Amino acid sequence: MDLVQHVLNGLLQGFIFAIIGLGFSMVWGILNIINLAHAAFIMLAAYLTYFLWAGPGVDPFVALPLVMAALFVLGYVIQSRIINLVMRASVLTTFLLTFGMEALLVNVALRLFTADNRQTKPSYANVSLALGDLHLPYTQLGAVVVALVVTCLLYLFLDRTRTGSSIRAVGQNKVAASLIGIDLGRTYALTFAISAALAGAAGTLLSTTSGFSPPSFGIFNILAFSVVVLGGLGSIPGALAGGLVFGLVSEFAGTYALQEREVVVFAVLVLVLVLRPTGLLGREGYR
C-alpha cells in the first residue's frame, strides 16, 4: 500500500512539474532563451491567486484562467519591449537579462509582500480524496486535469493553427521564417507570453498546495531545467514525461535515500544526458 501511495505522490507532483517544465521548454526550444525569470513568474501568479482569494474570495480554479491571462500579457510585454532588444546577442546575454529580472522581481515582491508565509486556502486545500488508505489531494487531482488540458490545447495550437505553425517555423529556422514573412518579434513575444501563462497555471496550483514566500520559488528554475533535460528539449510530450519521471525519481529517492535525494536525482539526470543526449522523448527536428 505504501508503494502505491509513493507512486501516486510522485505522479501527482509530476503533473505540476510538467506544467512548469513545459513553459520553460518552449522558450528555450524556440527562442533559445534559458529563462531564469520563469520561477519569478510562478511566484507572481501565486501571489495574484492568493490576493484574488484573500480579497474578493475568488476560488483558485476560477482564478486560474484569469491569472494565466494576466501572465500572458506580462510575458508579451516583457518579450516585445525588453528581451526582443537583445535577441541577436549571444545566449548568455538573455541568460543574464532574465537572471536580473528574477532578482528584481523576487526582491520587489519581498518588499511589497514581505517574507510572510501565505497559502491560498480554500476549504479543499490539503484535503484528500481517501480511497481506503490511499490519499489523493484534490488540488493535485485538479493539477492533473489542468496539465492534461493545457498540454492538449498547446499541442493542437502549435500543430493545427497558422500562428502555431509560424512559432514552430521560427523554432526551426529564424532566417527562413523571416524570409517567408513571419514577424519574428511578434512570434517571439507570443511564445514568451504562452510560456508565462503556463508559469501562471503552475503558480496558481502551487499556491494552494503549499505555503510560500518570495524566496521559496527559486527552486523551480532548477526543477524546470531538470524536467526539460529529462524529457527532451522542444517536445510537449517530453515535458510531460520529464515531469512525471522527475516526480517519481524524486519521490523514490526521497523514500530510500532522502539525505542523498538531490544526488540521486541529478545522477539520473546526468545518466540520461549521457545515454540519450536529446532526453527521453526529445528528437532532432520537432515533435
Among 42, 106, 197, 249, binds other proteins (CB under 8 A): 106
The answer to whether 204 touches 106, Cβ cutoff 8 Å, is no
DSSP 115: S
Site residues (CB under 8 A) for other proteins, limited to 147-186:
155, 158-159, 167-168, 171-174
Read off φ and ψ for residue 239, nearest 5 degrees.
Answer: -65, -40
Residue 28 or 41: the one with the smaller Cβ distance to other proteins is 28
Q: Classify each residue of 236-268 as buried b or exposed e, where b means 16 or more C-beta atoms within 10 Å of its C-beta.
A: bbbbbbbbbbbbbbbbbbbeeeeeebeebbeeb
Give least dist CB 119 to other proteins, A: 5
Please report the sign of the dihedral spanned by the C-alpha atoms of residue 230, residue 236, residue 241, residue 242: positive
231 touches other proteins (CB under 8 A): no
Nearer to other proteins, 185 or 277 (CB): 277
Give burial (CB, 10 Å; 0-12/13-18/19+) of 217. Answer: buried
Our finding on whether 284 is near other proteins (CB under 8 A) is yes
Report the residue number, 186 or 261, with the smaller CB distance to other proteins: 261
Position 240 contacts other proteins (CB under 8 A): no
Least distance to other proteins, CB of residue 283, Å: 8
Choice from 5, 80, 84, 165 touching other proteins (CB under 8 A): 5
Q: Where are the beta strands (DSSP E) in the chain?
A: 128-131, 134-137
CA angle, residues 258, 261, 265, in degrees to nearest 5: 150
Nearest CB to other proteins, comparing residues 63 and 168: 168
Give residues 117-146 in contact with other proteins (rule: CB under 8 A): 117-119, 121, 125-128, 130, 133, 135, 137, 140
The nearest distance, CB 112 to other proteins, in angstroms, is: 13
